[in-house]
Structures are given as structure tokens and as C-alpha cells.
Structure 1
Amino acid sequence: MSLYHEDSFLPVQRIVSALSKARHLLTADMHAAFAGTGVGSSHVGALLLLSLGIACTSVGLSRLLGVDPGFVTRIIDRLESQGLVRRDRDNPDRRVVNLTLTEAGRNVAARIAEIVPAVLNRRQSGFTPLEFAALSSLLGRLVDE
């Protein structure tokens, strides 16, 4: 079913604009919350995925974060230079580079796990639990491929 046509596409622009603004606001909130930690908002996802053991390679991070592999490489380079991540070659397949959080990286990831919920809760405070569940469900359907 097509909801929009050439003569009625303005509501789409409104949805796209709202989604873009929401992303921008959340990114700005995260950036402010992480000021002084040495971690940028673009590093948060990688650190959390590594700390939870959901991803352990750059390729895995790239897929899960939905970003370019080159972008992930730059993130890992930065985290490694800060002493938060270590790269190790896989024994059976030397082409694979496994990523491991250092102790400092685990400490930062633990701080992230404290900071992110507070930021998200502030931004979502105007929603009732039912409204938030509906928003989550609708956005899930929007991005489901």
C-alpha cells in the first residue's frame, strides 16, 4: 500500500525531518555527556558492543553499527591510541584481527553504561511507557528490512 504520492510527499519530509532532528539532538546530548571522558559519541557503540561480547572484530562492529568499515577502523585506531582497545591476530586465521577491551576500556565501557541511560531517560521523559513502547515498535517497523 502506497501512502504517499507526488502530490502528497510533504508529510514524508516532515517524518524525515523529525527523525533527523531527533538523531541530531541525541548525538548532541551524548556528546555533551561524554565531554571530558576522552570518548566521543561515535565511540560509544563500539565500546559497548565490545564490552558485551556482541562483536569482537572490525567487520562485526561495522555490520552491527551500520557504518562503513573504514569508519570503524578510524574508531578502533583512536581507541587503541587511547589504550582502550587491543588488536590481536587470530591464531587459526591470521587475517582476522580480534578486538579486546583493555582494563581501561572496560572501565570506560562501564561509565558509558551509566551515562547513556541517563541521557536517554532525560530525552524520553515526556513519554508514557505505553507511548514509548508504541514509538519503539513503529520505528522498528520503519527500519525493518
Structure 2
Amino acid sequence: MALYDEGHTVAGWTGVGIATAGTSVVGVGVCAVSGVLLAVGLGIVVVSALVTWGLHLTGWGKPPGVRPRAEWGMWVRDPWARGGHPGCVGCRLAGRSRPVASALSVPGPTVVGDGTGMEVRGAAVVGAGARADVGRGTP
């Protein structure tokens, strides 16, 4: 059993497989100097994007961000795909958007860091709401 989520999904692997076939056809078209093969290969790549998007919307893709441990398996379907994922461009394009909860809309700490050891001391949250910004000190 994996110790972390590798992000493997049915949508991802299917899209990569179709895109690989498309780019292979494009490569043959370049070598053969064939505009028809180039167009067919690029068409296959576009189809791969559409198939991946469709599978994501039906629950076979990974939402943005970290998934719970119970959903790490490749064959685990996403039960929240129908309502849309917060911050997901594909869901937004399909008209399934939920508002994104902003981490900066609540009062922040006086030390800001991203876990890498790089911290800004004396930082404060400036502004309010979803467009809040982090700055040094308070105005």
C-alpha cells in the first residue's frame, strides 16, 4: 500500500494513453512530411483532452488538492464530481462551480510560512474577504 496519493486516476491514464497515440501520429506526420497525419494527430490530442474532461466530470478524475486516504486508489470514484470541485477549471467550464473558501479571509498569524522554513516575521493579513492579501505589518 502506498504511503501517499500518487494521483493515478482512470481519467488521467486514459487521457495520457490517447494523447500518447496522438503525439505518435504527429511524430510520424513530421517524419513523413504529411499535413494530413499532422492534422489527424492533433485531432487525437484534442480528443484526449475532451475524454479526460468527460471522465473527470463523471467522477473518474482527481479533484484539485489533496484527497482523503480512503480515495487514494485509482478505481475509487469521486462522489462529489456531480456538484463540481472548488477551484477546478474543468468543473467551472462545465458550469459546475462551487465557491472557493479563501484561507486568507480569516485573521492570520503573525508569522507566515509555507512549511519550508522560509517565514516572514511580523506579517499580518491586510484587507478582508476572498481578496485578502498578506503584507508586512499593519497599515
TM-score by length of 1: 0.31
Select the structure with the greater relative contact order (CA < 8 A; seq sep ≥ 6): 1
Larger helix proportion of the pair: 1
Normalising by structure 2, we get a TM-score of 0.31
